[in-house]
Amino acid sequence: MKNKALLFLLLGLVLGVFLSFSLLRGPVNRAMAEQAAALIGLEMTPPEIDTMIPDLEELQAAYQSIRDQHIDNSLTPALLFNPLPEGFEIPTADESVAFNLPKYVQLPEKRDSLAFYSIAELSALIRSRQISSVELTQFFLERLRKYDPQLHCIISLTEERALAQARKMDEELARGFYRGPLHGIPYGAKDLLAAAGYKTTWGAMPYKDQVLNYDAAVIEKLDAAGAVLAAKLSLGALAWGDVWYGGKTRNPWNTEQGSSGSSAGSASAVSAGLLPFAIGTETWGSIVSPSTVCGVTGLRPTFGRVSRYGAMALSWSMDKIGPICRSAEDCAIVFEAIRGRDERDPTTVDAAFNYNHKLEAKQLRVAYLKKDFEANYGFRANDSLVLDQLRRLGINLIPISLPEVPDISFILGAEAAAAFDELTRSGKDGLLVRQVRQAWPNTFRYSRFIPAVEYIQANRLRSAMIEEMHKTLRDVDVFIAPSWSGGNLLRTNLSGHPCVVLPTGFDEGAPTSITFCGKLYGEAEVLKLAALFQANSDFHLKHPEAFR
């Protein structure tokens, strides 16, 4: 994708994308060029068009030379997105990370209660040897088998691998070697992450038998931390929505509804107590949205915090990987294990993560998007209660406004169309289950008409927006926003800022959420504020009745 994406976008200049559809239609003529110019809103005189025609024919030949090569989804473009505003310094001073780990937890008489224990609680049980990793893994494997027919959240069980890793963790613990709070803890991974020996289907029919015989960087890191991969979980086909080739992933709170997407299976499995945590990804809401719908806590890290090596590429400048858990504290535990520089993903950086549960949250400078919260939207009542609760906890909320988001969301479409160029040209996009207007096949097709100049101009406006955000957030540690209402979800996915989405109650039986956002690389502060709120509320402790 490295050369394909950039050459396709840059060689296109003004008319290139349109011309790419005419490769098999003979030489370029004036009428064709006039139609292309009209499509993208340019006026050119006949002499101007005639002068261009030989150059357009050369571009045609260049496009064909690119298409004659196979460009794998794993190849990244030469131009890399950098979210850093002018003068911003990446925090690198590491301090001791301190999680709020219980010293002792009693094994419950009723084993089913383990389904909703936190990572910290399960970790205490394993470390004290009240339960083995093998026993815990078998427990969650049984729940995955039992409830998947209702939820359609599993693409592959990784049972053989899981039990081998669990046995290894038990043997190490018996020798006195303890890897940390994820030692022996089962989890699931969104099935756009490669895992050696198992299919990596991307949730899409054209790739349902694809096997990538290596591990994604995130899975490598979780292996090293002692975690146990128990399942590859469903995602909406090619990371859109909750519909994949095996059906629609369901919401445990209401199995008549989908679980949103695209980290559909990850959020559904954690919500139903099928796994203690799961790995999701987000490009534009794919952690925030299913976490909201399923009533769980999700962390979308800063762009470049977590390596995407071994993950399906959708948008090189927007894709991010993060954990979906029961609580903010659990998210912090998982994030500590998966973050860091990886030379195989050139967008990653080394940045400090100084999470400390003892930090006095009242020291944080917390703002809120006043205009967004004053609008009339679905979660407003519960969001207002959250803001009131934070004030009662001693948090001084500062009203702010952030720059409006330019109309540049087509950046995602342009990059995604390049990532799946061969799928579109082969006609195999017709194998995807969803063929409606708001689905990838149509988006891939119309995005080929985005001129390279407009793509670059959009990214220039993106840079300006990032600079404006930096000025506003200079003296802010955390800012609070509605999860869906307003433009913050798109704004922060374009800018690369981190967020935690956490449950805030219910509206007519459906979970609601709010979003705590941070400065770039400010995950520790965001998670600390979220942990404070959860320590003084019980919304994250609510679980769907049908899966208890």
- Closest to 198 (Cα-Cα) out of 217, 213, 220, 188: 213
Which residue out of 123, 234, 266, 286 is catalytically annotated?
Answer: 286
Distance CA 321, CA 261 (A): 14
The sign of the dihedral angle between the CA atoms of 233, 312, 526, 385 is negative
Has 22 been annotated as catalytic? no
- Closest to 479 (Cα-Cα) out of 398, 406, 391, 371: 398
Has 190 been annotated as catalytic? yes
> What are the Cα distances from residue 360, in Å, to 252, 356, 451, 532?
35, 9, 50, 9
Which residue out of 190, 221, 320, 519 is catalytically annotated?
Answer: 190
DSSP letters spanning 250-303: EETTEEEEE--SSSHHHHHHHHTTS-S-EEEEESSSTTHHHHHHHT-EEEEPPT
Distance CA 65, CA 61 (A): 6
What is the per-residue pLDDT for 26?
A: 65
- Residues near 470 by Cβ (< 8 Å), separated by ≥ 6? 85, 86, 88
Reading the chain (548 residues) residue by residue, the pLDDT tens digits are: 334 344 334 334 334 444 444 444 568 999 999 999 999 999 999 999 999 999 999 999 999 999 999 999 999 999 999 999 999 999 999 999 999 999 999 999 999 999 999 999 999 999 999 999 999 999 999 999 999 999 999 999 999 999 999 999 999 999 999 999 999 999 999 999 999 999 999 999 999 999 999 999 999 999 999 999 999 999 999 999 999 999 999 999 999 999 999 999 999 999 999 999 999 999 999 999 999 999 999 999 999 999 999 999 999 999 999 999 999 999 999 999 999 999 999 999 999 999 999 988 889 999 999 999 999 999 999 999 999 999 999 999 999 999 999 999 999 999 999 999 999 999 999 999 999 999 999 999 999 999 999 999 999 999 999 999 999 999 999 999 999 999 999 999 999 999 999 999 999 999 999 999 999 999 999 999 999 999 999 999 999 999 99
Burial class of residue 315 (count of CB atoms within 10 Å of its CB; 0-12, 13-18, 19+):
buried
Which residue out of 123, 133, 259, 262 is catalytically annotated?
Answer: 262
Distance CA 65, CA 282 (A): 33
The sign of the dihedral angle between the CA atoms of 257, 263, 267, 268 is positive
Q: How far apart are the first and last CA of the chain?
A: 45
Distance CA 39, CA 24 (A): 20
Q: How many whole angstroms from its chain centre is CA 174? A: 36
Domains, the chain, with CATH or none? 1-71 (no CATH), 111-405+462-547 (3.90.1300.10)
**Neighbouring-strand partners of residue 445:** none
> What are the Cα distances from residue 407, in Å, to 158, 462, 494?
42, 10, 11
Has 485 been annotated as catalytic? no
Distance CA 342, CA 339 (A): 9
**Peptide bond just before 286 cis, omega within 30 deg:** no
Tokens coding 396 = 């001084």
- Closest to 288 (Cα-Cα) out of 481, 534, 444, 443: 481
**Count of other CB atoms within 10 angstroms of residue 384:** 12
- Residues near 41 by Cβ (< 8 Å), separated by ≥ 6? none
Distance CA 309, CA 217 (A): 5
Residue 208 DSSP code? T
Q: Is the pTM of this model over 0.85?
A: yes
What is the per-residue pLDDT for 14?
A: 37
The sign of the dihedral angle between the CA atoms of 220, 225, 228, 229 is negative
Where helices occur in 276-405 by DSSP H, the ranges are 288-294, 328-338, 370-374, 380-392
What is the per-residue pLDDT for 405?
A: 96
> What are the Cα distances from residue 293, in Å, to 3, 259, 288?
38, 6, 9
